Amino acid sequence: MKRKILIIAIVALVLGGVFYIVKKMLTAENLYTFNISKTDGLKSILLSKGTVQKKITDLQEIEDIIYVLDGDGRTTKKESINDYPVGIKEPIKVELKSDNKKDSIAVIYIYEDNSLYYLEQPYNGIYQMSGDEYNGIVKYLR
């Protein structure tokens, strides 16, 4: 009788441990951090929404935009798995460009969805931003 209880207790402990490990693995979520790497060679920012484009070359304006984009150490659990935001009609495309090459240093999209504002870095994450931060970028397109 004691042996049966001991076996049942061991089986219960093993099953409980396996259940706990599987649950942790299934609910573990990655934490993505917004990162604009290497802005040292940044010479311009190209903002575009629909057919409207604006090239920002003023150093102070570039610094202001980078400050808004960098925010307060943005982190998220929402992964971006596309080149372009899915289901968004007209996001604002922000291209950080260097002088040396025609390629962008980074491409970021900002948009409004259901009265919330987002910043999406393709293949990294989707980060929430405030309305003030959003408007701080939109003002350059006006």
Query: Looking at the structure, do residues 41 and 100 belong to the same domain, yes or no?
Result: yes
Query: Looking at the structure, do residues 22 and 87 belong to the same domain, yes or no?
Result: no
Residue 130, pLDDT score: 93
Range of the domain at 111: 32-141
**Radius of gyration of the chain from its Cα atoms, rounded to whole angstroms:** 23
In this structure, is the dihedral angle defined by the CA atoms of residues 38, 60, 121 and 77, taken in order, positive or negative? positive
Nearest to 94 by CA among 129, 26, 5, 21: 129
Residue 26, pLDDT score: 62
pLDDT at residue 81 greater than cutoff 80: yes
Query: Looking at the structure, do residues 127 and 80 belong to the same domain, yes or no?
Result: yes
* Residue 25 confidence class, pLDDT cut points 50, 70, 90: low
State the helix-helix crossing angle for 131-138 and 59-70, rounded to 10 degrees.
150
Nearest to 58 by CA among 42, 71, 36, 70: 42
Residue 98, pLDDT score: 79
Q: How many domains does the chain have?
A: 2
pTM for the whole structure: 0.74
Judge whether 45 and 97 are in contact, CB under 8 Å. Answer: yes
Query: Looking at the structure, do residues 39 and 78 belong to the same domain, yes or no?
Result: yes
SS3 state of residue 70? helix
Residue 35, pLDDT score: 77
Neighbouring C-alpha atoms within 13 Å toward the C-beta of 71:
19
